[in-house]
């Protein structure tokens, strides 16, 4: 299942997994990235559920926080060490 998902999301993952420079990876970085992805995705979902009004301006935080959270979860769960280090900016 993981290989199928990595193939499906390879255009996004390739951006973070590319490069030849050295990087500094710690396993705690992946855990924190997954935790923050859950927090941001939950925040985006909460805004979407609890603030449905006629104004479409409330969708901006849904897209920003939900998209950022989904990206963090995607890299945290499916990405390799280089991708996690690139999200953290560890070089």
Residues 6+ positions from 42 with CB-CB distance below 8 Å: 69
pTM equals 0.87
Vertex 66: Cα angle to 36 and 7 (nearest 5):
85
The predicted pLDDT at position 13 comes to 92
> Is position 4 within any domain?
no
Would you say residue 28 lies in a domain?
Answer: yes
Helices (H), the chain: 2-8, 10-17, 27-50, 59-78, 81-88
Write the pLDDT tens digit of every residue in 9-57: 999 999 988 888 888 888 899 999 999 999 999 999 998 888 877 778 8
Quick check: is 6 in a domain? no
Q: Is the pLDDT of residue 76 over 70?
A: yes
Is 31 a domain residue? yes
How many domains does one find in the chain? 1
Residues in the chain: 91
The domain containing residue 64 runs over which residues?
Answer: 22-88
- For residue 90, pLDDT over 70 is answered with no
Output the six-digit token pair for 71. Answer: 């990206």
**Domain assignment of residue 7, yes or no:** no
For the chain, report the end-to-end CA distance as a whole number of angstroms: 30
Q: Is the residue at 66 inside a domain?
A: yes
């Amino acid at each position: 299942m993981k290989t199928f998902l990595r193939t499906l999301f390879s255009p996004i993952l390739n951006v973070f997994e590319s490069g030849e420079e050295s990087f500094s990876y710690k396993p705690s970085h992946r855990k924190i990235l997954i935790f923050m992805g859950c927090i941001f995705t939950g925040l985006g979902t909460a805004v979407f559920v609890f603030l449905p009004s006629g104004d479409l301006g409330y969708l901006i935080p849904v897209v920003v926080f939900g998209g950022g959270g989904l990206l963090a979860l995607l890299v945290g769960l499916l990405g390799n060490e280089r991708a996690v280090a690139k999200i953290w900016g560890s070089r």
